[in-house]
A and B are shown apart, each in its own frame.
Chain A
Amino acid sequence: NAGVTQTPKFRILKIGQSMTLQCTQDMNHNYMYWYRQDPGMGLKLIYYSVGAGITDKGEVPNGYNVSRSTTEDFPLRLELAAPSQTSVYFCASSLRDKEKLFFGSGTQLSVL
């Protein structure tokens, strides 16, 4: 049972570089989310999607972009990385909007 798979697990970026965090789920979930978690803090919603082709901004979308071309995949794109984007990124999915979230194992990103 793969569930929600995130890659990579760790990444170091230089200021101004770009990268894509990958997220794939094999549970046929409609809802997918990207959160970031700064040290000692809760989860902040970056972007979310209620189905293929539909995305919307969360609490902290600036500096990020997403796409949802398939039900399974929900990649998060960082353009022009900044030190403020140093964080742990979690991808999550749920079958329906009010149900429990299934989380990936997270991506630790450092921007230096």
Chain B
Amino acid sequence: QKEVEQNSGPLSVPEGAIASLNCTYSDRGSQSFFWYRQYSGKSPELIMSIYSNGDKEDGRFTAQLNKASQYVSLLIRDSQPSDSATYLCAVFYSSASKIIFGSGTRLSIRP
């Protein structure tokens, strides 16, 4: 089992709709979870971090964490063409003090 798994996509969503991105992880001891956005040819940039079960909202972005199911998701409301990018889920493995990334989900917002 991969340490961090994401659906590679591409995920195509119409402009104005909600985009839903999912991620599962294998280490039950993980406590810190991150979503990074990466535009083609650029470095990843942090969108959201979440540390406790439940929802965390920041503008149009909502991160959801369920530690019992080892599942973290990112919702993007009112999707814009500028949201078209690859979204990387990252998990901090406290057993080894390292951050592991998933393979990323490519999101395309169609006008």
Contact = CB atoms under 8 A, between A and B. Distances in A.
Interface of A: 31, 33, 35, 40-45, 48, 50, 56, 58-59, 90, 97-98, 100-101, 103-106
B99 A33 contact: yes
Interface residues of B, number: 28
Interface string B34-49: 1010000001111001
B43 A106 contact: yes
16 contacts: A33-B98, A33-B99, A40-B8, A41-B103, A41-B104, A42-B102, A43-B90, A45-B98, A45-B100, A59-B3, A90-B44, A98-B32, A101-B36, A101-B44, A101-B90, A103-B43
B74 interface: no
B92 A97 contact: yes
Contacts of A35: 101
A94 to B, nearest CB: 8
The winner among B4, B31, B46 for most chain A CB atoms within 10 A is B46
